[in-house]
Amino acid sequence: MASTTTTTLCDLPDVILSTISALVTDSRARNSLSLVSHKFLALERSTRSHLTLRGNARDLHLLPGCFRSISHLDLSFLSPWGHSLLTSLPVDHQPLLALRLHLCFPSVDALTVYSRSPTSLELLLPQWPRIRHVKLIRWHQRPSQIPQGDDFVPIFEHCGLLESLDLSAFYHWTEDLPPVLQRYADVAARLTRLDILTASFTEGYKSSEIVDITKACPNLRDFRVACTFDPRYFEFVGDETLSAVSANCPKLTLLHMVDTASLASPRAVLGNDSGDSAITAATLMEVFSALPHLEELVLDVGKNVKLSGVALEALNTKCKKLRSLKLGQFQGVCSATDWGKFDGVALCGGLLSLSLKNSADLSDMGLVAIGRGCCKLSKFEIQGCENVTVKGLRTMVTLLRKTLTDVRISCCKKLDATASLKAVEPIYDRIKKLHIDCVWSGSEEEGGERVETSETNDDNDDDGDDYERSQKRCKYSSEDVNGFCSEDRVWEKLEYLSLWISVGEFLTPLALTGLDDCPNLEEIRIKIEGDCRGRRRPSEPELGLSCLALYPKLSKMQLDCGDTIGFALTAPPMQMDLSLWERFFLTGIGNLSLSELDYWPPQDRDVNQRSLSLPGAGLLQECLTLRKLFIHGTAHEHFMNFLLRIPNLRDVQLREDYYPAPENDMSTEMRVGSCSRFEDQLNSRIIID
């Protein structure tokens, strides 16, 4: 009898196994792969290219030397977060630890680092002279004693092969960069990517500075910049600046130019009375003609760009490679006056992604024309378009049913939560990502019905409860074209859900809108925004996070209360301070089986404080399944110790990633010593897996 042999994965050629291993991106999956055998361990280590270091900077001497193939190294999340790397160590230890990093990661060509001062860069960058990509992060204020441009001098001195510089999360002065680029002209000429779309700016780059930057970097292919389009400001961006950018950098494939007002208030709805920009359709046509390689364009102007349809028609012929387009405050993007003829952006048939913001004259017919003309769209975002109704958007979605998988609807006056879900209903079985605003229609009438029911039907049986629940669902949920309530929708492919909700509103009606059956929903982001000052106590004790327990695979959450404003200290009579509001927001979070949580506490802008309160810490400790918890604010040390009661919690960090981050922590909040003590206790615990 012939012997039988079993073929396993290990019998594949090493080249194929190496390719398979390189395609695995999840860190935990790669760690599991490395535990299979010595062969798989060697494969995993040789194919891992990206690594983000966590832990305390004081323990850098314990780094393993087995990750020698790492090309992208991120040091920005080392603890204590926000402190200059290495500079807190003894002076004689700093160069030795920088050398240790080089020995452990000799192949680095992309580096991310939190840079409070240029000292860290002076120590690190000489270790990797072949670095091509640098990303700097700083949410603290720029030290005034640093000479102009010194934040960037070490980069251009030690990185002669630099190709990419990312300053999108690095607060700096706009006058720092242009002189350095002009001084190191050879290095600047090699740059192909420059991101100065810095979210913490208040005014952005001036017109002359943008012209100088693009002159110094003629080979840019990716350029992102925060600027000011408002003609009332000195050196605003207008026709001349746009023409200079296109003339100086003709190889651009990606161009983002965003007004700082849009960065500061991304949900602001500006009507026609917001004023006009100094950008004309004729200049836009010249710019598009000068950038034939353009693939992605973002122009969020903040002021009206009138009669833009003619210029947008030129995109189809001048920028044939364009696949992604975002326009803010553009008027006349698609007039749709002639049903048989497309105009404006509807002629851009090659687009895969389209975002329209504050286009006040966009109508339902315009949306339908876009759906007919841009038939390849897989992502569509609409914001602040007050004339658009559910009929127009639903028709557009129906036309794009075969391709559309990512939809964002926000700040549209006639599109509340119910209408938004009704509009995307034609693709409920295909959509993967969705954002809606939690604006509940008829919430006051619903409250009245609830009171009446509780008074008159105390002894209702189960059938009565089911009928009432069905009626509520019909009230909130979207209806089909025949007016019947849709109760059996299964959002089978929905993986990511983003919600915006105003302070004082509740999340509980979400399930009643028809979004209750999402078997594969893994991640949710909830943005709570508004001013708590002057508001009375809500009628219900909780926001309603517990209602999210009906999503069986929900494991990741971003709960952003960072734009919720209130009183961090004593509140006036009959009002709640932020600790009580935090209890309202977080109550019920322990009912969810979350493994990762990013949490932004509410803030008091008068004292620049975003701090985790006692009720917040107590409620977070009830999340017994958490493995990662990132609090984007500050906290007291004894509040953080509550989190040690979460059995499998592996990674916790306080990140003050907002501007301006506190320069000096208060005496009762987490300091360097407090962070170290907490991390020592966290790491000393035995984790089951």
Residue 651 CB contacts under 8 Å (≥ 6 apart), including other chains:
54, 627, 628, 629, 630
Helix 207-216 and helix 239-248, axial crossing angle in degrees, nearest 10: 10
Is residue 423 pLDDT above 70, yes or no?
A: yes
The pLDDT assigned to 569 comes to 81
**Model confidence band, residue 137 (pLDDT cutoffs 50, 70, 90):** very high
Query: To the nearest whole percent, how much of the chain has pLDDT over 90?
Result: 66
Question: Which of 78-87, 182-191, 612-621 is the least confident region?
Answer: 78-87
Question: Which of 273-277, 383-387, 649-653 is the least confident region?
Answer: 273-277
pLDDT, tens digit, 9 for 90 and up, residues 598-611: 999 999 988 888 99
Mean pLDDT, range 356-364, rounded to an integer? 94
Is residue 199 pLDDT above 60, yes or no?
A: yes
Greatest mean pLDDT among 75-84, 489-498, 662-671 lies in 489-498
Q: Tally the C-alpha atoms within 13 A of residue 431's C-alpha that lie toward its C-beta.
A: 26
**Model confidence band, residue 670 (pLDDT cutoffs 50, 70, 90):** low
Question: Which of 6-10, 127-131, 287-291, 576-580 is the least confident region?
Answer: 6-10
Mean pLDDT, range 409-424, rounded to an integer? 95
DSSP β-bridge partners for residue 256: 224, 298
The pLDDT assigned to 482 comes to 37
The pLDDT assigned to 447 comes to 36
Query: To the nearest whole percent, how much of the chain has pLDDT over 70?
Result: 91
Tokens of 220: 């840019």
Environment class of 294 (CB within 10 Å of its CB; exposed 0-12, middle 13-18, buried 19+): buried
Is residue 245 pLDDT above 70, yes or no?
A: yes
**Model confidence band, residue 441 (pLDDT cutoffs 50, 70, 90):** confident
CB 592 within 8 Å of CB 554:
yes
- Give, as one character, the DSSP assignment of residue 208: H
Is residue 665 pLDDT above 60, yes or no?
A: no
- Give, as one character, the DSSP assignment of residue 303: E
Mean pLDDT, range 527-541, rounded to an integer? 90
Q: What is the DSSP string of 240-267?
A: HHHHHHHHH-TT-SEEEEEEHHHHH-TT
Distance CA 165, CA 48 (A): 23
**Model confidence band, residue 210 (pLDDT cutoffs 50, 70, 90):** very high
Mean pLDDT, range 473-502, rounded to an integer? 69
The pTM (predicted TM-score) of the whole model is 0.90
Residue 677 CB contacts under 8 Å (≥ 6 apart), including other chains:
637
Is residue 474 pLDDT above 60, yes or no?
A: no
Average pLDDT, the chain: 88
Helices (H), 338-432: 364-373, 390-399, 417-424
User: 3-state class of 525 per DSSP?
Assistant: strand
Task: Determine the straight-line distance between the first and last CA of the chain, rounded to whole angstroms.
Answer: 44
Is residue 344 pLDDT above 80, yes or no?
A: yes
Mean pLDDT, range 86-90, rounded to an integer? 71
Mean pLDDT, range 386-409, rounded to an integer? 96
- Give, as one character, the DSSP assignment of residue 205: B
The pLDDT assigned to 445 comes to 37
Is residue 476 pLDDT above 80, yes or no?
A: no
pLDDT, tens digit, 9 for 90 and up, residues 22-73: 888 888 888 888 888 888 888 888 899 999 998 888 887 788 888 899 999 9
- Give, as one character, the DSSP assignment of residue 599: E
The pLDDT assigned to 7 comes to 79
Tokens of 364: 């339902």
The pLDDT assigned to 575 comes to 85
What is the dihedral sign for C-alpha 263, 269, 274, 276?
positive
